[in-house]
């Protein structure tokens, strides 16, 4: 087995984004009540892609925002490197909206827990639904995604890397053995 395995290539990436957009519209019977929030950094970029697809399909513009969960993390004290704090940019009122929370990889569930708390501090949405590009298992909290791009069984020490052309120069998903950073 190679150290770096391609799970999704550029074409597959685009198809998965389209399917997620369709599923979200189907489940919510349209996009009128939707608000999309991406978790920085790659969740935010994915949120923009999904929102763009939904806008094209439904002919309305869907409000997008990005969420920085740094201040809500439960491992701030244990980290050796202090994470760079970024800003939360949600310029619309999330009150009574059906919020689609978007992240790239669902792993332990701790990021989503932080994001839920952060969202609740900003307002009271009608519902929050979770959309993730990759679900790799190993949950440590009772959290489940509503929309999943691809389920990938992994071992705990492997890494799933979602690459996006905006910052990584390509759209792809790789499975990397531990210790191999690209």
Partner 1 sequence: MGLQSRHLLGLQGMPKEDIQLILDTAVSFKEIINRPIKKVPTLQGKTIVNLFFESSTRTRTSFELAERRLSADVVTFTAATSSVSKGETLKDTARNIEAMKIDMVVIRHNAGGSAHFLSRIIGANVINAGDGQHEHPTQGLLDMYTLREHFGTLEGLHVCIVGDILHSRVARSNIYGLQTMGAKVSVCGPATLMPRDIEKLGVDVYFHLDDVLPSVDALNVLRIQLEREAGGYFPSLREFHRYFGVTKERLDKVGKPIAILHPGPINRDVELSADVADGPHSLILQQVENGVAIRMAVLYLLGTHN
Q: How far is the CB of 126 from partner 1 (least distance, A)?
A: 17
What is the Cα–Cα distance from 175 to 104, expressed in whole angstroms?
14
- Smaller CB separation from partner 1, 43 or 149: 43
Cite the beta strand spans of 57-121 per DSSP E. 64-67, 98-106
Q: How far is the CB of 78 from partner 1 (least distance, A)?
A: 8
Q: How far is the CB of 44 from partner 1 (least distance, A)?
A: 15
- Smaller CB separation from partner 1, 121 or 170: 121
89 contact partners, CB below 8 Å, separation of at least 6 = 65, 66
Judge whether 177 and 153 are in contact, CB under 8 Å. Answer: no
What is the Cα–Cα distance from 17 to 13, expressed in whole angstroms?
6
- Smaller CB separation from partner 1, 82 or 181: 82
| List of residues contacting partner 1 (CB under 8 A) | 68, 71-72, 76-77, 79-89, 117-118, 121-123
Alpha-carbon separation of residue 154 from 21, 37, 124, 127, 151 (angstroms):
25, 27, 35, 30, 10
- Smaller CB separation from partner 1, 114 or 159: 114
């Amino acid at each position: 087995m190679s150290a770096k395995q391609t799970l999704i290539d550029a074409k597959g990436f685009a198809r998965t984004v389209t399917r997620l957009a369709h599923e979200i519209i189907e489940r919510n019977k349209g996009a009128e009540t939707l608000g999309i929030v991406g978790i920085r950094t790659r969740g935010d970029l994915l949120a923009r892609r999904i929102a763009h697809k939904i806008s094209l399909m439904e002919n309305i513009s869907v409000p997008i925002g990005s969420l920085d969960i740094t201040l809500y993390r439960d491992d701030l004290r244990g980290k050796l490197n202090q994470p760079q704090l970024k800003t939360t940019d949600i310029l619309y009122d999330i009150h009574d909206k059906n919020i689609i929370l978007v992240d790239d990889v669902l792993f332990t569930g701790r990021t989503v827990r932080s994001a839920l708390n952060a969202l609740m501090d900003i307002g009271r949405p009608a519902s929050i639904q979770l959309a993730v590009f990759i679900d790799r298992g190993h949950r440590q909290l009772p959290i489940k995604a509503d929309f999943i791009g691809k389920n990938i069984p992994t071992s705990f020490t492997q890494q799933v890397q979602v690459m996006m052309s905006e910052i990584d120069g390509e759209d792809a998903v790789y499975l990397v053995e531990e210790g191999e950073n690209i």
